[in-house]
Structure 1
């Protein structure tokens, strides 16, 4: 089994946040390489936001992601490998 490290959670969360791009709902797949593995996050999520006041101005930051559906696949040179990805853990990095 492939153990998902904090760095991979961070990478997946950053890519998902970029894909959400200010919307309140996202549905799609994100494919990327990481540490010699090919990763694919397929998800549909409802995005909740909260207003954050900063010196440079107010922003609507993501406060929660509620998954409707998700899958996370990892594949190496030999093919697909089971992993221990946890969506709740990834949310901590958004």
Structure 2
């Protein structure tokens, strides 16, 4: 059985990855969470490129690109691990 990754799950995964980056330019680790009854785990090493934006309110450095060094997305349900159609490129769309 193939588990289809929804836009909501992509959004959740992207938000968790951005939180894990915490303003840094590199993250390597595992993000584990339950989403809609499915245990999800993103194991990733990723480089974050940032751009500098200056505004009257201050300076920010939002992510301009994410380059995965390595990644694997696991989904586990009641019947064990399921194959899924996760795409890192698709998840990146929810970061910017």
**Band the TM-score falls in, shorter-chain normalisation:** over 0.9
Q: Which residue does 2:38 correspond to in 1?
A: 37
Q: How many residues align?
A: 94
Structure-1-length-normalised TM-score: 0.96
Q: Which residue does 1:77 correspond to in 2?
A: 78
RMSD of aligned residue pairs (Cα, Å): 0.9
Distance 1:55 1:3 in 2: 43
Structure 2: stretches of 5+ with no match in the other structure? none
Structure 1: stretches of 5+ with no match in the other structure? none
Q: Secondary structure at the match of 1:93?
A: coil
Structure-2-length-normalised TM-score: 0.94
More displaced, 49-58 or 9-18? 49-58
Tell me which stretches of 4 or more aligned residues in structure 1 moved more than 3 Å.
none
What's the CA shift for 1:55?
Answer: 4.5
What's the CA shift for 1:53?
Answer: 3.3
